[in-house]
Amino acid sequence: MADYGLILCLILTPIALRWITVWQMRRFCGVALNADQECKKMTGELSDIREATYQVERQESHYAARRSNLHRQIEAARAELAKLRRPAKGRIAVRPAKGRIAA
């Protein structure tokens, strides 16, 4: 009888170990698949963030160029205004006095 118990134990032990191993491998495979899906999701989000950053940098560059252009125009207008404020030698037109209408 002890021999039958020993033989049964020697047959059932590897089967039980194999079943436990397969169960754990399936569980770890499920965890790995979930991690892979999460990684793909995060990769997509990272790609979206990089694209948004690129768009913002491009828009910032556009506004910097526009600001530079406007700054040049303002400086040119200020120079023109300063030129007009200087007294002119031999002016053809004379400013009308306050309260008078120029003809």
As given in the structure block, the two tokens for residue 100 are: 């008078």
User: Is residue 67 within 8 Å of residue 61, measured between CB atoms?
Assistant: no
Residue ranges of alpha helices (H) inside the chain are: 2-85
pLDDT (tens digit per residue) in 47-91: 999 999 999 999 999 999 999 999 999 999 999 998 888 876 665
Rounded CA separation 8/75 (Å):
99
Q: What's residue 97's pLDDT?
A: 62
User: Is residue 96 within 8 Å of residue 102, measured between CB atoms?
Assistant: yes
pTM: 0.53
The whole-number average pLDDT for the span 24-38 is 96
Rounded CA separation 9/39 (Å):
44
Most confident among 16-20, 87-91, 93-97 (mean pLDDT): 16-20
